[in-house]
Each structure stands twice: as C-alpha cells, then as structure tokens.
A and B are shown apart, each in its own frame.
Chain A
C-alpha cells in the first residue's frame, strides 16, 4: 500500500520536493550578499531581536547571528510551513479523502487490516518528510561549499527538524481529524491545524511561552536551534514523541468507523431545510465554510501581529544601523506605518489565496458533475462560474474587512497606539482588496477558458508572495518586485489609489472574460 501511495502521489511529491529545495537553495547566497560582514549580521540580529512582530512571524534570532541561523530563521520558517502544508495534503489525500472517495473500501476488500490504510498513509508521509528533510540538509550542505558560516552539523539538524516538523504537523492534523465527520471539510480542517500551529508558535516565541513550542510542530525549530545549538537531544526526544503519538493515533484508528469520526462532536441540527435562493445563494452555502474559516484566521493573524507594533516604539529610537535594516525590509518612511502595511500585505496574500481556492473549487464541481446538475436546470452556461466568482469576490471583501477588523483590535490592545496608527491601518487594509481581486480574477479567467490548467491559478499568487516577501532579500530588480500587485500599499501619507483602480478594473475585465469562456466552452 505504501508503494501504491507513493506511485499515486509521485507527481505531487516530485513537484513539491523540487520546488521546496529550489526555493531553499536561493537563500544562502542571497543572505550572504545582503549581509556580507559580521557587523551587518549583528545589526540585523539586534533589530530582529527587538521587533516582536518579526519574532512572531519567523521566530527568535540568537547570538551569534551566523548566516546558517539567518537562513533557517526566515527561509527555514517558510520551509517548515510549506513542508507542513505538503505533508498534511499528502496524508489527507491518501487517508481520509481516499476513504471519502471509496478507494480505501476497495483496498480493505482485499482482506488487509482495518488499520493498514492509516498506517500506510502515515508511513508514506514519513517517507516524504524524510526525503524533503534529507534533500534540505543536502541543499544546505552544498550551500556551505560557497557560503560561510554554514557548518554541516547545522545542515543535518536543519534537515532533521524540517522532517520532524512535517511529521508532527501530520500527526496534529490526524489527531484533529479523528473528531471530524464531514468528508467535505477534512482538507480544510487539516490545513487549519497548520494555521493553528503557526499561531501557537508565534505566541510561544513572542510571549516567551517556551513550552508551547513543544506542543506546536512549527515551534520545533525554535526548540532545536539549528546552526546555534543543534540540539540533538531535543531531536531524539521529538522523534520519540512522534513515534509515540503516531502509535497512539494508529491504535485509535482501530476504533474509528470507516469514513466517520472517532468521536462525533455534537452538531447543531436544523429542524427546517434551508431555502436556497438561486445559484449565488447555492454557491455561498457550499463555500461559506471555507470563506468564514479563512476570514477568522486572517482576523486573528492580523490582530496578533499588529498588536506587536506596540514594541516598535522602543526600538525605533535605537542605533541608526538597526533602523537601516528595517528600512531595507519595510522600505522608507514611518516604521510603524510600514510594519502595519507589511502585515496587511501578508494577510492580503492569504485573502487572495482563499479567493482563488473558491474559484478552483468550481473546477472540482465540474469534474464531479455537480455543475452538470446545475446546468440541467436550464441555467445559462456562465451562471455557475459567475455564482462562484461572486462568492469569491464577497469572500475577498470579507477577508479585507477581517484585516481591518483584526488589525483594529490589535491596535486597540496597545497603549502606545495613536489615532495615526488607525489612519494608517484603514488604507493599508483596503489596499489589499484590488490585488486580491486581481489574482482571483486570473483564476476565474483560467477556469473559464482553460480548465485543464486550473492548477496554474496558484502561480501568480505564489510568485507575488515570493516577490513581496523575499524580493529585496533575493536582490530581485525593483521592476520585478513591482510586478507583485501587493507592492502598492497605501497609508495616510504615502501611496495612491490610481493603481488600485486599474487593478480593480483589470480584475473585472478578467472575470468578465472568464465568464465569456465558460459560456463558450464545454465541460470535459
């Protein structure tokens, strides 16, 4: 079964692994180029240590600020988040999704043990995690051939922590899914466990609740201290923890009924059937779980990160070179305003992500033929995609309001907040609307005209995220960074809305074209 799982997910594994290694390989030379001397790296360390917002995002930086540690601090954090998403998607795909599709039933009919599919799914994920971890260690070791301060011990412990984090995230998702009955929600809830793990890690690092890092798999990097302490004792403990929890979860699987939760949580039971008022209402009923869950995550994230701006006031007055480091990251201008804009951009990327997710869901409906069912009622051909697009636009709007609301709550909790901060938050949040709509519209265009290329709908948002978050570090030319639609934030004193107006008009045009495509094409 493990071999079958690996065979079925071969393309997924190859694409994810190669992409992660390729992205990881870019960072060591980029950081060496950006912080060439020990003095530069020391200034960077001082600045980052004092910025609770950055600590919340990527974790703590420790003395001495070696290049290896800086690589693992930011790029390593991205690696463990993306690696966790990969391993969770893989596990859910070969386990609960496979059950929902009836494929596991086929496997069980051959007389294998009831636990075997879950065990095979877990071992498949462990193998994938080990491959990614081993490859990442290899990438870091190869980097050490031409980049200083990246000893092989750090590379190996980094690879180990990446693999362990992927396994830990899978186990966390597996644990939560034992309480989830609805097969339509398993992927979403599993991904939300990664988001929850990130928030727990952020709280642990910024509020100094060290124990919480043991609970959150994304916090295991902080526990191991790659390139600083390379704490192999912790690595062994975490490996034992994974083995123990994995064994317990597989034992629990014996008692879980096929396709059901181990323990069904009480749910609100409707006494009357919902009235569905037309195609848009149907699309909103079908997608509102995704939209609301993401909006809540974004609001919490915005509130939490922006609440950390309170700590900015202190370090803004420190050494000039520290300030320079932040100017490099956030740009020129008022540091607090720039940090609010940076947080809004980060959340804006997430808003675009779920806007796209809703559109991509329409293609899934075409493949499972529920769109045929809609069309059989006499709807115009473009209506099903238009309905989903309308819900997606509504979701993007809700996400923008979540940035605004969450950010306002975050500022409200801080004594140092002034009215200027609110004045900066409002345009910063609204300036995420047009970029998110534009990227969502690209997805609608693709689904409308070339549904076979639906997966490419993710490419623009991934590219925009890389350019916005890492463009300066990777020394990308400014014209290239400016290609990211998130590069046009507006504050009370800077930025202008003309670009946003054009982006909004572009989004409407692309959506219109997408609907035209869906009117003309067949559903294959």
Chain B
C-alpha cells in the first residue's frame, strides 16, 4: 500500500453547538488524485482549512506529509493551495502575487513552468488583480499553485469560474503534476472532472465520510444503472424508489445488491434491451443526496 500523504483521523470540529465535522476520516495516498465530494455545507472547506492549520480541530488529527500543519506550518511550503474563494491583494499585479507567494514560501518557483502555465492558461500577468475577471483571478491562483513544484496540492473547487477550454487545460496540467509524482486532494462539484481525474474519492455528508475508495470500486459497489424497454408499467416497478419512465423506457439507479431483484422485476414486466452498468459518479452522488433536495 502506498504511503498516505494526507491523513485525517477521527476529525471533529464544532462551531458552538454546530458540528461541522463529526469523526471524519480520510486518507490520500501518495501520487494519487483524490476527489473530495460533498454538498454545500457538508464540511469540505472546514477540512481543508484544518489541513492548512487555519482552523483547529476540536478532536482528532490532521496530517500533511506526516506532520500536523498546526504545529509544523513549515510543512505547507511543500503544498500548493488553491482556495475556494480566490482572494488576492487588489493592488498587486498577477506576477507580483506570484513573487509575493514565492517569497513567503521561501522556495524558488520554477520560472519556466510558470511561464508555460501563463501561456497555457492565456493569462496576462501584468494587470492589477483588481482588474481581473473572476476566471482570470482563478487562473492567477492556478498558476501560482501549479508552478511551485509542490509535493502536495490542496485544491478547493479549482475550476470554478473557468471556461470549458481552460478546464481542459487544468485537467491536462494536473494530470502532468500527478505523473510527476505529486499528490492531489481535489474538492469539486464537477463530476465529469472528478471521474476524469481522480483515482480515489471520499464523499462527505453532514461532516461524516459517507463513502470512500477508488472510483471504480465505488461505482461497482455503490450503484448501478439499469435501463430497459418495458411495454407495461407494473405496480412492482412503479413502487421502486427513484424509478423513471420516459415513453416505454424504464431507468433506475440502485445499490449493487438490489440489482438481481430489480432485473427479475424488469423481466417479469416483459422488459427487453436490458442494460445494467455501474453508475456514473454523478448518479452515485445524486443517489446519496438526491433525497435532500
């Protein structure tokens, strides 16, 4: 087994009486991209801010590269971070932000890589950050983080505000960082991005880990999508939670152990062209949280 680079164990964080995190556990293995999924307010940003040592856990531990960032903040010099809400100093230019973060980190940035990223993201780095659009501010934080040559990246919604072309550039550049050996914790709501990039996923709900494992494993273990053409709608099929009908096509996303029973019901109803496939991550996510909406 690979060595865990980010390790969160039994993490609980209370704000007054509200439990933002409740005995949350997550492990990110070296050299992987780990998706961190959850609805708004589920505790993703709280976890990330604890990993940065900005918030203190009520109980439990959070370690980055084997060290508690609260007690050993210098470990963060080996971390590239992209915040969820990009806040930059408005009076500095993009390039001055790169230099400022480089000087604070105390480690030289790879200037060639920086120029390469500026080119790839089509960023004008010599404008004041207050004059940038939301997407361009995001690009500044992406270039600043990805050019550090960091061992670990902690990315909170890194593509929010980027256009689809730039999202592709991001996917390409992050894959390159992973291939270099970097470890990535990627908090995102974009399922296609997570499916494309991530080796492992942790899903957080109400401050607790709801699911965790490799994307493939989770797909197979957690949810399957069944479709079939069914000429008549039987009461047994209609009673299934989450069943959808469009013309004569029946569709349902269900837990793996329910698949045989539902397939029997479909066949009993005269179903043809039956398919059963592992659900997409999006289906899986909706299966977990769809009832909340």
Task: Pick the contact of B76: A278, A369, A376, A523 (CB < 8 A).
Answer: A376
| Tally of B interface residues using CB under 8 Å | 38
Is the Cβ of B91 less than 8 Å from the Cβ of A182? yes
| Residues 173-210 of chain A, each 1 if its beta carbon lies under 8 Å from chain B, else 0 | 00000000011100000000000000000000000000
| Residues 360-403 of chain A, each 1 if its beta carbon lies under 8 Å from chain B, else 0 | 00000000111011111111110000000000000000000000
- Which of B81-89, B187-195, B215-223 forms contacts with chain A? B81-89
Task: Pick the contact of A273: B56, B70, B87, B99 (CB < 8 A).
Answer: B99
Chain B neighbourhood of A285, CB < 8 A: 91-92
Closest residue of chain B to A371, judged by CB? B54
Is the Cβ of B54 less than 8 Å from the Cβ of A182? no
CA distance A289 to B92 in the complex (A): 13
Within 8 A of B (CB), among A292-344: none
Within 8 A of A (CB), among B103-157: 103-106, 125-126, 130, 154
Chain B neighbourhood of A183, CB < 8 A: 90, 130
Chain B neighbourhood of A147, CB < 8 A: none
Chain B neighbourhood of A377, CB < 8 A: 76-77, 101, 104-106
Chain B neighbourhood of A14, CB < 8 A: none
Is the Cβ of B104 less than 8 Å from the Cβ of A374? yes
Chain A neighbourhood of B90, CB < 8 A: 182-184
CA distance A279 to B15 in the complex (A): 30
Is the Cβ of A375 less than 8 Å from the Cβ of B53? yes
Is the Cβ of B73 less than 8 Å from the Cβ of A276? no
Task: Pick the contact of A370: B15, B87, B103 (CB < 8 A).
Answer: B87
Is the Cβ of A279 less than 8 Å from the Cβ of B89? no
Within 8 A of A (CB), among B209-252: none
Task: Pick the contact of A379: B55, B104, B125 (CB < 8 A).
Answer: B104
Greatest chain B CB density within 10 A among A281, A285, A373 is at A373
CA distance A524 to B100 in the complex (A): 24
Chain A neighbourhood of B54, CB < 8 A: 372, 375, 522-523
Greatest chain A CB density within 10 A among B53, B75, B106 is at B53
- B33 contacts the other chain (CB 8 A): no
CA distance A278 to B102 in the complex (A): 9
Is the Cβ of B79 less than 8 Å from the Cβ of A276? no
Chain A neighbourhood of B93, CB < 8 A: 273
Chain B neighbourhood of A524, CB < 8 A: 15, 55
Chain B neighbourhood of A378, CB < 8 A: 73-79, 104-106
Chain B neighbourhood of A273, CB < 8 A: 93, 95-96, 99, 125-126
Is the Cβ of B76 less than 8 Å from the Cβ of A375? yes
Task: Pick the contact of B81: A276, A376, A522 (CB < 8 A).
Answer: A376
CA distance A453 to B87 in the complex (A): 23
- A3 contacts the other chain (CB 8 A): no
Main secondary structure of the interface of B (DSSP, over half): mixed
| Tally of A interface residues using CB under 8 Å | 31
CA distance A233 to B83 in the complex (A): 59
Is the Cβ of B99 less than 8 Å from the Cβ of A275? yes
- B178 contacts the other chain (CB 8 A): no
- B281 contacts the other chain (CB 8 A): no
- B256 contacts the other chain (CB 8 A): no
- A245 contacts the other chain (CB 8 A): no
Is the Cβ of B99 less than 8 Å from the Cβ of A276? yes
Is the Cβ of B91 less than 8 Å from the Cβ of A184? yes
Distance in Å: Cβ of B293 to nearest Cβ of chain A: 24
- B49 contacts the other chain (CB 8 A): yes
Is the Cβ of A372 less than 8 Å from the Cβ of B49? yes
Is the Cβ of A379 less than 8 Å from the Cβ of B103? no
- B184 contacts the other chain (CB 8 A): no
Distance in Å: Cβ of B154 to nearest Cβ of chain A: 8
CA distance A184 to B129 in the complex (A): 11
Within 8 A of B (CB), among A241-276: 273-276
Task: Pick the contact of A276: B49, B85, B100 (CB < 8 A).
Answer: B100
Is the Cβ of B87 less than 8 Å from the Cβ of A368? yes
Distance in Å: Cβ of B62 to nearest Cβ of chain A: 13
Is the Cβ of A282 less than 8 Å from the Cβ of B55? no
Chain B neighbourhood of A184, CB < 8 A: 90-91, 130
Task: Pick the contact of A522: B56, B75, B130 (CB < 8 A).
Answer: B56
Distance in Å: Cβ of A182 to nearest Cβ of chain B: 7
Distance in Å: Cβ of A504 to nearest Cβ of chain B: 30
- B52 contacts the other chain (CB 8 A): yes
- A286 contacts the other chain (CB 8 A): yes
CA distance A183 to B131 in the complex (A): 10
Closest residue of chain B to A278, judged by CB? B103
- A277 contacts the other chain (CB 8 A): yes
Chain B neighbourhood of A278, CB < 8 A: 103-104
Is the Cβ of A369 less than 8 Å from the Cβ of B106? no
Greatest chain A CB density within 10 A among B76, B77, B88, B104 is at B104
Is the Cβ of B96 less than 8 Å from the Cβ of A274? yes
Chain A neighbourhood of B78, CB < 8 A: 378
Q: A274-B96, A369-B85, A379-B104 are in contact. List 5 more A-B contacts (CB 8 A).
A: A184-B90, A275-B99, A276-B103, A282-B104, A378-B104
What are 24 A-B contacts defined by CB distance under 8 Å? A184-B90, A184-B130, A273-B93, A273-B96, A276-B96, A277-B103, A286-B92, A369-B85, A370-B87, A372-B54, A373-B83, A373-B87, A375-B52, A377-B76, A377-B77, A377-B106, A378-B73, A378-B76, A378-B104, A378-B105, A378-B106, A379-B73, A380-B74, A524-B15
